[in-house]
Amino acid sequence: MEYNFLKVEHNDGITVMKVSAPKSLNALNSTILEEIDDFILTLDETTRVLIITGDGEKSFVAGADISEMAHLDEPQGFEFGRLGAQVFRAIETLPIPVIAAVNGFALGGGCELAMSCDIRIASSKAKFGQPEVGLGIIPGFSGTYRLPKLVGQGYAKEMIYTGKIIRADEALRIGLVNAVYEPEELMDKAMEMAAMMLKNAPVAISLAKQSINEGYDLDADGAIGLENKLFGKCFATQDQKEGMDAFLNKRKAAFKGE
């Protein structure tokens, strides 16, 4: 599929996907969501870390496209929300690490896109918010589900009920992002983090992600049991044998993702 609103770069196991719709500050419409969906579905094993960011200096993703939403009826609104939720869930469940490099406005659907990623780092100029109630709607791309998990119900309800926009330093304080960097450093820091991940066993990272994501909603016994199962599964991989042999023989491991 040829993309009109995505820019994709591949670099030695790291893929960067930029949402690029400068006239609307990268706002998400159905076409962009379908392009992201296709992109996620067609990622192959050469991508071991994915970085998602926005094109330009002002915006990561400024939200969902209000000009498209304004004329939707109830069934159409449901389908639009379902599409966004489906795409973001596909990102969340990718078997590889996904880093959001939030370079500017991450509002509404943009904040929800960032939250579907494993890790969020932000430019000092980034701003976050769920301002949907000011438009007569609620967050529709899983924002009411993911935001409380990241920052707790109190902060999530405050952000959603007031619709207020917060700066990157506040997002860091409440745990919405992992780190804040100057704008000119952001992509370099994202690439540095991705490069650190590339040094480790791909299968182990994938199983760790599965254990964290699936275990989060289980009770303690269920989550620990899942971890035990996936821990055991590591010992059926060549990466485990390579990693431990390299450690014992004081050499650098050469993981193959097997």
Q: Which residue has the tokens 């055991």?
A: 232
Say how many Å lie between the first and final Cα of the chain, rounded. 29
Structure-token pair, residue 25: 């500050």
Type and span of the H or E element at 165: strand 165-167
What φ, ψ does residue 8 adopt, rounded to 5°?
A: -125, 130
Catalytic residues: 112, 132
Q: Which residue has the tokens 């591949």?
A: 10
Structure-token pair, residue 212: 């964290």
Question: 28 by DSSP, 3-state: which?
Answer: strand
Q: How are beta strands 127-129 and 165-167 bridged, if at all?
A: antiparallel
For 126, 183, 238, the CA distances from 15, given in Å and listed in that order, are 22, 20, 25
What lies within 8 Å, CB to CB, of 167 at 6+ separation is 126, 127, 128
